[in-house]
């Protein structure tokens, strides 16, 4: 069960915000007099970005839910012994996720293969790396943050309690990069297609907080899918440009174009 690398497939493109995005920063980072709900920003540049962990977490949960629906009825749902059967939170505040308990099961599992599992038995490192998505060069960082007042209404007195919330404005574009490690040629096509299908599913879901209130609708535009074999890195082989489009194409279009080339 040692890891091998046969090659890497790199997917690049843009994430476009269709509605305002709020991915919250750690509260201890708030300056005195600062807004109480800031968006996360790169400490070096002060510009907002989308953490790779946010993309990874969201895509994992979407694939888990889709696969949960394929389970026999008595395995569905969350809890001990179920498909979504591992609590990574606490007893009082459980956070249930799917996680295969050993390496061999994880290798046969589309979720754990892509996103990894670290159960008691043996670890299966994720095959996928989600880089932080930074602002595209043409975006003016001074014009992309707005303060939105979210109002809670007291159910008894009807008093409104507006709370300021930072969010990144619609239209903003971020550059994403997802790297898939090829460890088994037989899994490559399924895994890569799953990644692109998850982009589509995420478009119909949301990223960050307050999604049920309309925040976090995004759109993916894939500009490049490039495959680099082991020989590309260690030998003299060329990379294989599986897909390229400067403007970027939608996930479902890219899926059609690359299906015969993986």
Contact set with Zn ion (CB under 5 A) = 100, 109, 111-112
DSSP, collapsed to helix, strand or coil, labels residue 143 as helix
Instruction: Name the residue nearer to Zn ion (CB basis): 112 or 192.
Output: 112
Distance in Å, CB of 169 to Zn ion, minimum: 38
Residue 33 contacts residue 164 (beta carbons within 8 Å): no
DSSP secondary structure letters along 1-27: -----SEEEEEEEEEEESS-B--BPPG
Instruction: Name the residue nearer to Zn ion (CB basis): 111 or 168.
Output: 111
Distance in Å, CB of 123 to Zn ion, minimum: 12
| The residue to which tokens 């007099």 are assigned | 33
Distance in Å, CB of 182 to Zn ion, minimum: 19
Instruction: Name the residue nearer to Zn ion (CB basis): 64 or 173.
Output: 64
Distance CA 41, CA 238 (A): 37
Distance CA 103, CA 122 (A): 6
Instruction: Name the residue nearer to Zn ion (CB basis): 181 or 229.
Output: 181
Distance in Å, CB of 177 to Zn ion, minimum: 25
Distance in Å, CB of 208 to Zn ion, minimum: 26
Instruction: Name the residue nearer to Zn ion (CB basis): 63 or 258.
Output: 63
Distance CA 74, CA 63 (A): 19
């Amino acid at each position: 069960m040692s890891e091998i690398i046969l090659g890497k497939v790199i997917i690049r493109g843009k994430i476009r915000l269709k509605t305002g995005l709020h991915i919250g920063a750690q509260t201890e980072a708030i300056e005195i007099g600062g807004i109480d709900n800031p968006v996360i920003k790169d400490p070096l540049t002060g510009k907002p970005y989308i953490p790779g962990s946010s993309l990874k977490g969201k895509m994992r949960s979407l694939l888990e839910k889709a696969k949960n629906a394929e389970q026999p009825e008595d395995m569905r749902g969350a809890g001990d012994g179920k498909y979504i059967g591992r609590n990574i939170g606490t007893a009082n505040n459980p956070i249930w996720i799917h996680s295969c308990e050993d390496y061999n099961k994880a290798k046969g599992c589309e979720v754990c293969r892509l996103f990894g599992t670290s159960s008691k038995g043996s670890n299966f490192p994720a095959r996928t790396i989600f880089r932080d998505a930074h602002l595209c060069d043409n975006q003016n960082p001074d014009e992309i943050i707005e303060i939105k007042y979210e109002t809670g209404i007291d159910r008894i007195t009807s008093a409104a309690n507006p709370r300021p919330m930072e969010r990144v404005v619609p239209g903003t574009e971020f550059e994403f990069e997802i790297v898939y490690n090829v460890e088994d040629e037989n899994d490559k096509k399924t895994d890569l297609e799953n990644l692109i299908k998850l982009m589509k599913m995420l478009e119909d879901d949301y990223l960050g907080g307050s999604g049920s209130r309309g925040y976090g609708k995004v759109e993916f535009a894939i500009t490049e899918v490039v495959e680099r074999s082991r020989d590309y890195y260690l030998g003299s082989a060329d990379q294989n440009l599986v897909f390229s489009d400067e403007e970027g194409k939608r996930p479902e279009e890219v899926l059609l174009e690359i299906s015969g080339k993986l």
